[in-house]
Amino acid sequence: MPSKSKLIVLSLILGTAVVLAVPASAGGQEISVTAKQKKICVQAKKRYDKLYPDAKKGGTVTVKLYKYTFCPLNLTVKKGTTVRWVNVDKRTSHSVWMKEANINESDRFFPEEIWQHTFTESGAYPYLCGPHWKEQDMRGFVKVTE
């Protein structure tokens, strides 16, 4: 049996490892997804499929907005791709704001409304929901490859 102090040391080491791992993955600025967000995204997909039963699978790249979460939170697309953000919430409006890329915030879009953007240059595009990033940490990330 490991002693209590050994466990504390171990957890300190692991804690350090976790802290050290953050800057490395933050290089790509991908968002680490929580278990709660994963669950929300499963619900968002169900809701999207229910709202848009005729949506072609594998056609347009979509990001669903649901319960203060962009689904998926991290997306990688090729240059020239149009990404469509679809609000599948029941009553909350959202926006998409690629602040760091100096792209103006979208208008707020309401349930079952969309906003879309074509990425013409490769790079990293972290983005926010204007009304909800501060309090709900509603953020997303798009990586655009050549």
Nearest-approach distance from CB 129 to Cu ion, in angstroms: 3
61: nearest Cα among 37, 43, 79 = 79
Q: How far apart are CA 1 and CA 39, in angstroms?
A: 36
* Shorter beta-carbon distance to Cu ion: residue 47 or 94: 94
Nearest-approach distance from CB 22 to Cu ion, in angstroms: 25
Beta bridge partners of 140: 127
* Shorter beta-carbon distance to Cu ion: residue 122 or 137: 137
Nearest-approach distance from CB 69 to Cu ion, in angstroms: 9
Task: Encode 82-111: b = buried (16+ Cβ within 10 Å), e = exposed.
Answer: ebebbbbbeebbbbbbbeeeeeeebebbeb
* Shorter beta-carbon distance to Cu ion: residue 56 or 91: 91
* Shorter beta-carbon distance to Cu ion: residue 64 or 132: 132
Beta bridge partners of 145: 78
Nearest-approach distance from CB 118 to Cu ion, in angstroms: 22
Q: How far apart are CA 39 and CA 44, in angstroms?
A: 9
- Residues binding Cu ion (CB under 5 A): 94, 129, 132, 138
